[in-house]
Amino acid sequence: MTAVAVLAAVVRQEWGRLTSLLLAHFRRLDLVEDALADAVETATTRWPRDGVPDNPAGWLHTAARRRVLDRLRAEMMAQRKMPLLLIDAEHRSTATTFADPDDQVEDDLLRLVLMCTHPALDPAAASALTLRLVLGVSTADIARLFLVPEPTMAARLTRAKKKIVTAGIPFAVPSADALPERLQVLAQTAYLAFTAGYAPGSGPDVVRTALAAEAIRLVRVVLELRRGEPVLVALLALMLLQHSRRDARVDDAGAVVLLPDQDRSRWRQDEVAEGVALLSSPALTGPIPVLAAGYAVQARIAAEHATAASAEATDWSRVVRHYDDLLVLAPTPSARLARAVAVAEADGPLAGLDAMAGLDDALPRSHRLPAVRAALLERAGERDAARAAYGLALQRCGNDAEAADLRRRRDALG
């Protein structure tokens, strides 16, 4: 491996640990991130010239630590204050170093993750900040992943960091009774980043899957720290099962391929297997929090599709039962609509249409609702009603690719 490749790998693997270690020592978010970025910058020129150090992460830690101390020294000179704090920081004997293999480093990493996903932060900003500080994704790359200009993302990250410092969001693991709730917020933050990656019409597919992959990496990192945490186990299963289909979701022309038409040989079987295995792990047996249960049920629905040999072989009656479970946990209109689709597959289009009764009031602006109804009416042989429903769906649809598909299906009715 070249020095540059080693550096990239160390940054990817150790950025969060390095950040949390420096933060535990100095408690200065503003200085720590810049210092670490400077250290990486220096390594970019020095490692190819002088060779990769024996302990690359330790090298970055030492370099960043020196930067922070330089900055603190400069600040204290500027304020003409006695550098007592500095001496304290330089000589503190209890300070953890990167060589410490014990739990302290892992605890610091959990502190960092919980700080970045604090509920007092805006959720979108929290996901971006977590990618930056925990996973070491560059601001430019985060901007690309979230499809905003880099200055916008830089400003969003700066604002989030300012909020952390000014509002006094702690670099701490909360008490045992508060921790599960905080881990739930963390899970929601990770899932927000994951679904942002798969939002329809959101940029090239490579970018979208990259963001989803980073969200999965975040959950893996935290799961290492909190093994068997139900909400994280369920979320990882859900993400893996959805992510396993990424190569089959678009065709060569870039158009979205719907589930029944996907080439199942392109699904990642290793990820399917891992997701399915997670679903039967002990962490998800017995009573678990509602959020975890919701992720688990959605993952089980995804697993039904992922393990069916073909679209025709899908056990739709089991899918319907999973949706029944989901509706008990989270009776949302979109879950009811998805259940109606499964009912139609299990018991025919008329049963599906029945299952959609009452949804119009709940989804007055949805184009998905009339689009699904149109498809079911078409299958039931109700061509005029289907044509009208496609027309309504077209009126409401704001996505060009989806609108083109609806128009094609309406015109095919003759």
The footprint of other proteins (CB under 8 A) covers 118, 120, 166-170, 172, 174, 178
Least distance to other proteins, CB of residue 171, Å: 9
Q: Considering the complex, state which of residue 159 and residue 220 has its C-beta at the smaller distance from other proteins.
A: 159
Q: Considering the complex, state which of residue 182 and residue 249 has its C-beta at the smaller distance from other proteins.
A: 182
- Across 293-304, b (16+ Cβ under 10 Å) vs e yields bbbbbbbbbbbb
Least distance to other proteins, CB of residue 166, Å: 6
Q: Considering the complex, state which of residue 172 and residue 401 has its C-beta at the smaller distance from other proteins.
A: 172
Q: Please name the residues in contact with 61: beta carbons below 8 A apart, sequence gap of 6 or more.
A: 18, 21, 22, 97, 98
* Closest alpha carbon to 198 in 210, 189, 187: 210
Report how far apart, in Å, the C-alpha atoms of 86 and of each of 60, 70, 280, 386 are.
Answer: 20, 10, 52, 74
- The rounded distance, in Å, linking the Cα atoms of 394 and 387 is 11
Least distance to other proteins, CB of residue 39, Å: 28
Number of residues that this document lists for the chain: 414
Q: Please name the residues in contact with 93: beta carbons below 8 A apart, sequence gap of 6 or more.
A: none
* Closest alpha carbon to 303 in 245, 342, 263: 245
Q: Considering the complex, state which of residue 37 and residue 76 has its C-beta at the smaller distance from other proteins.
A: 76
Q: Considering the complex, state which of residue 185 and residue 211 has its C-beta at the smaller distance from other proteins.
A: 185
Amino acid at 22: L
Asked if residue 40 lies in contact with residue 11, where contact means CB atoms within 8 angstroms, the answer is: yes
Least distance to other proteins, CB of residue 178, Å: 8
Q: Please name the residues in contact with 318: beta carbons below 8 A apart, sequence gap of 6 or more.
A: 304
Least distance to other proteins, CB of residue 27, Å: 11
Amino acid at 341: V
Least distance to other proteins, CB of residue 33, Å: 20
Backbone angles phi, psi at 174, to 5 degrees: -70, 175
Which helix (H) or strand (E) covers residue 386, if one does?
Answer: helix 383-396
- The rounded distance, in Å, linking the Cα atoms of 316 and 358 is 22
Least distance to other proteins, CB of residue 155, Å: 21
Q: Considering the complex, state which of residue 118 and residue 321 has its C-beta at the smaller distance from other proteins.
A: 118
Q: Considering the complex, state which of residue 166 and residue 310 has its C-beta at the smaller distance from other proteins.
A: 166
DSSP assignment, residue 138? -
Q: Considering the complex, state which of residue 75 and residue 325 has its C-beta at the smaller distance from other proteins.
A: 75
Least distance to other proteins, CB of residue 18, Å: 23
